Amino acid sequence: MLIGLTGRNASGKSTLVNWFSNKGLRSFSCSDSIRSWLSEQGIDSTREALIEGGRELRRMGGPGVLAEMLLELIDGDDAVVDSIRTPAEVEALRTRGDFVLIEVRAEEGSRWKRMVERSRPGDPTEKAAFIAQEASEAKAKDEAGQALDATAAMADLVILNDGTISELEANLQSFWDSL
């Protein structure tokens, strides 16, 4: 089984990764491919560097290259993949017949609150910057850019995450049981 996650920043994707990992799935991120490439280039993995590194890798290897690189690492194992940000990545992962794409969705206010509370390096500290960043990631300007709206439209399942962790885990358990 291969589960992919897409969603806006601070929607709860990392929480889902941890939950699925506790069920025995190996965890990967499309960003892992970028981090490895940035490290080879001697570049720190800041949010801006990850975004631009992803664009550069897509320019060099095509829009699905990050997922294609991950499929080689996953090697047929059961896994959960985080940070799927383009339709081409979804298409590449769908080449495995057992792929399911989940969009993790939370309303803007919930996500902003979570982002402020987690205060990860590179996260916006002003709400206007958060909103601008969201807009820039929603629709791709070219094949190399992020396209969260188009990627979310390809989801097989939407998990709403505006409630409590217990509610989220109950929804995930229902999904898990249906597999």
CATH number for the domain that contains residue 57: 3.40.50.300
Question: What domain range is 50 assigned to?
Answer: 2-166
Is residue 62 domain-resident? yes
Residue at 123 is within a domain: yes
Q: Is the pLDDT of residue 75 over 90?
A: yes
Tokens of residue 135, six digits: 């807009």
Q: Given this model, what pLDDT does residue 144 score?
A: 65
pLDDT reported for residue 33: 86
Question: Which parts of 29-164 fold into alpha helices (H)?
Answer: 30-41, 47-61, 65-74, 87-93, 108-118, 127-138, 148-152
With residue 75 as reference, give the H or E element that holds it.
none
pLDDT in tens, 109-161: 999 999 999 988 878 899 999 999 888 888 887 776 778 999 999 999 999 99
Instruction: Render pLDDT for 14-39 as a digit per residue (tens, 0 to 9).
Output: 999 999 999 999 999 988 889 889 99
Determine the pLDDT at residue 171: 93
Quick check: is 171 in a domain? no
Q: Is the pTM of this model over 0.75?
A: yes
**Cβ-contact 86, 151 below 8 angstroms:** yes
Query: How many folded domains does the chain comprise?
Result: 1
